[in-house]
Amino acid sequence: MNEMFCFQCEQAVGGKGCTKAGACGKKSDVANNHDKLTSSLINLAISSNGKSPGGKADILVMQSLFATVTNVNFDYNRIEELNSGVINEIKNINGKQSFTDESLWAGDIDVTSLRSTLLFGMRGMAAYAWHAYVLGKKDNEITGWFYKGLKSLSEIHSLEEWLELIMEFGQINLKCMALLDEANTSMYGHPVPTKVTTNIEKGPFIVITGHDLLDLKQLLEQTEGKGINIYTHGEMLPAHGYPELKRYSHLKGNFGTAWQNQQKEFSDLPAPILFTTNCLMPPRASYSDRIFTTSVVGYPELRHIPEGKDNVKDFTPVISKALELGGWDSNMHFTGINGGSMLMTGFARNTVLGVADKVIEAVKTGAIKHFFLVGGCDGAKPGRNYYTDFVKLAPKDTVILTLACGKFRFNDLDIGEIGGLPRIMDMGQCNDAYSAIEVALALSEAFNCGVNDLPLTLVLSWYEQKAVCILLTLLSLGIKNIYLGPTLPAFISPNVLNILVEKFNIVPIGTPQEDLNKILG
């Protein structure tokens, strides 16, 4: 008998699902508690008739969905606390617990596939809604949609109705990414092109990882003038491009390569590491005393920095640890996975659209033949060298736009420039897919054609649920011919895949050269 069931990420065992323990390190009791929490959320949505009951419930819904994203929360007790909170909300509105967790993954294979697609998309969107919320931005249409979507998971729908719901969700997620973009840029300014070193200076330092820019900002404020340097890791890298963050001179550079190398790269680190969101891997004993979690991230026995008064967290324990460990005695040289030691970021929509004339001219003269958006998540499974090789093999008259953490496969490569523009332009974190969409829409307007007619191909890598919500947004915009890898999601049934291929011509990746030949014809 299965001890658990989870097939929400690319690591699902055997391409089918984790049934004994998660390949991510999630134990079966925690996975089952994630299911219980999800069922409680569905019961809350049923009880409130698919609408927000207001008050604390919205916060709990965002936090709970976010906590069940892959590599976020492995702590049974923290999930239990969230579940108690949701159950209280159900009681407050005299609701009932009619939906059971056994129903989550049961039933017709295609219905389960579509239901799971919507659930995983909502888990991803909850992360973005939460980041916007902590920056003071909340949109009732977006928050309200969580209840509509969660309630629909308990209902019987035809395949067409599920697809309609999923497309509607894609549009809501676009609004959510726009909200977060607005929250980030109004708080920290529009990102500007910025070079980021991979070298580490001697002396005390802190590594901060994940997506939460507010945590970084508060950490920068609290370490200013204390002789402690701050280095980003993983999805925090694009923070260097924001004017209101880069003005801190002790925000020095980026440590580490891909997130899945953390167990090796953190083992000898003489510094604490602060996890603000995913992707946390089970820490090894050699460095677990140096890991701190915050927000919805959790792992048993790791130090957790709680929410503070007036939304200000107290990072004193992290700062004390940095001073105690002291960093390295001399400056250290590190590189990305291809040997480069300089990363570029900050090519978000404002920067790219700021040089739109140059870009359009380069396309018209033939200096730029094609754009590739090579973006998405990184992951541990083999087969992801595809993305490195794809970028290396892309002809010199093509431009690579990138976002999310998959770029650590190639962002230390120097593949040259076209007309003063670097051929690799990092648009930011995964949520900055919004920036890429804005750029694509602006280009389609400039060339007076549809996005699908632009010399642009999306070559995406997926791993967890934020990639799912972004993919659904792209599909809801009618974007076709997306190359998707490294493998297809376990939760997409053969029939649902056929529908996606027929409607959107989603293409599973092949080999880089074959795919380039197909695309560039």
How big is the chain, counted in residues?
A: 521
Q: Does 380 bind ligand SF4 (CB under 6 A)?
A: no
b/e code 252-261 from CB counts within 10 Å (16+ = b): bbbbbbbbbb
In terms of CB distance, is 278 or 398 closer to ligand SF4?
278
Q: How far is the CB of 216 from ligand SF4 (least distance, A)?
A: 26
Q: Does 8 bind ligand SF4 (CB under 6 A)?
A: yes
In terms of CB distance, is 6 or 44 closer to ligand SF4?
6
The answer to whether 221 and 203 are in contact (CB under 8 A) is no
- For the chain, the distance separating the N- and C-terminal CA atoms, rounded to the nearest angstrom, is 50
Q: Could you check whether the bond before residue 18 is cis, i.e. omega within 30 degrees of 0?
A: no
Q: Using CB under 6 A, which of 12, 200, 228, 436 touches ligand SF4?
A: 12
Say which residues have a Cβ less than 8 Å from residue 118's Cβ, sequence separation at least 6: 149, 152, 153, 162, 165, 166, 169
Q: How far is the CB of 120 from ligand SF4 (least distance, A)?
A: 10
Q: How far is the CB of 19 from ligand SF4 (least distance, A)?
A: 9
Task: Please give the structure tokens belonging to residue 112.
Answer: 């389960």
Q: Using CB under 6 A, which of 32, 43, 51, 70 touches ligand SF4?
A: 70
Give the strands of the sheet with 205-209, arranged side by side: 303-305, 291-294, 273-275, 205-209, 229-233, 251-254, 194-197, 342-345
Q: How far is the CB of 17 from ligand SF4 (least distance, A)?
A: 6
Q: Using CB under 6 A, which of 22, 234, 346, 489 touches ligand SF4?
A: 22
Q: How many CB atoms lie within 10 A of CB 108?
A: 13
Q: How far is the CB of 292 from ligand SF4 (least distance, A)?
A: 22
Q: Does 296 bind ligand SF4 (CB under 6 A)?
A: no
In terms of CB distance, is 31 or 57 closer to ligand SF4?
31
Task: Name the DSSP class of 144.
Answer: H
Q: How far is the CB of 463 from ligand SF4 (least distance, A)?
A: 9
Number of chain positions touching ligand SF4 (CB under 6 A): 13
Please give the Cα distance from 283 to 297 (Å, whole number): 13
Region of 3-11, 117-125, 407-415, 491-499 interacting with ligand SF4 (CB under 6 A): 3-11
Say which residues have a Cβ less than 8 Å from residue 498's Cβ, sequence separation at least 6: none
Please give the Cα distance from 66 to 425 (Å, whole number): 29
Q: Does 67 bind ligand SF4 (CB under 6 A)?
A: no
In terms of CB distance, is 65 or 305 closer to ligand SF4?
65
In terms of CB distance, is 19 or 152 closer to ligand SF4?
19
In terms of CB distance, is 18 or 421 closer to ligand SF4?
18
Instruction: Identify residues 391-420 at the interface with ligand SF4 (CB under 6 A).
Output: none
Q: Does 297 bind ligand SF4 (CB under 6 A)?
A: no
Q: How far is the CB of 298 from ligand SF4 (least distance, A)?
A: 15
CA nearest to 346, candidates 241, 267, 466: 241
Alpha-carbon 249 to chain mean position = 27
Region of 5-13, 54-62, 182-190, 417-425 interacting with ligand SF4 (CB under 6 A): 5-13
Region of 19-27, 120-128, 142-150, 185-193 interacting with ligand SF4 (CB under 6 A): 19-27
In terms of CB distance, is 34 or 409 closer to ligand SF4?
34
Residues in contact with ligand SF4, shown as a per-residue x/- string from 23 to 42 under the rule CB under 6 A: xx-x----x-----------
Task: Please give the structure tokens belonging to residue 16.
Answer: 């089918």
Report how far apart, in Å, the C-alpha atoms of 192 and of each of 100, 230, 235, 258, 372 are. Answer: 48, 19, 17, 23, 21
Q: Does 18 bind ligand SF4 (CB under 6 A)?
A: yes
The answer to whether 232 and 181 are in contact (CB under 8 A) is no
**Which residue in the block uniquely carries the two structure tokens 């602006």?**
442
Give the strands of the sheet with 424-426, arranged side by side: 424-426, 398-402, 370-376, 456-461, 483-485, 507-508
Instruction: Identify residues 438-497 at the interface with ligand SF4 (CB under 6 A).
Output: none
The answer to whether 281 and 263 are in contact (CB under 8 A) is yes
Residue nearest to ligand SF4 (CB): 22
Say which residues have a Cβ less than 8 Å from residue 438's Cβ, sequence separation at least 6: 349, 353
The answer to whether 95 and 44 are in contact (CB under 8 A) is yes
Q: Does 6 bind ligand SF4 (CB under 6 A)?
A: yes
Q: How far is the CB of 12 from ligand SF4 (least distance, A)?
A: 4
Region of 15-23, 128-136, 144-152, 412-420 interacting with ligand SF4 (CB under 6 A): 15-23
In terms of CB distance, is 26 or 151 closer to ligand SF4?
26
Interface residues with ligand SF4 (CB under 6 A)? 6-9, 11-12, 18, 22-24, 26, 31, 70
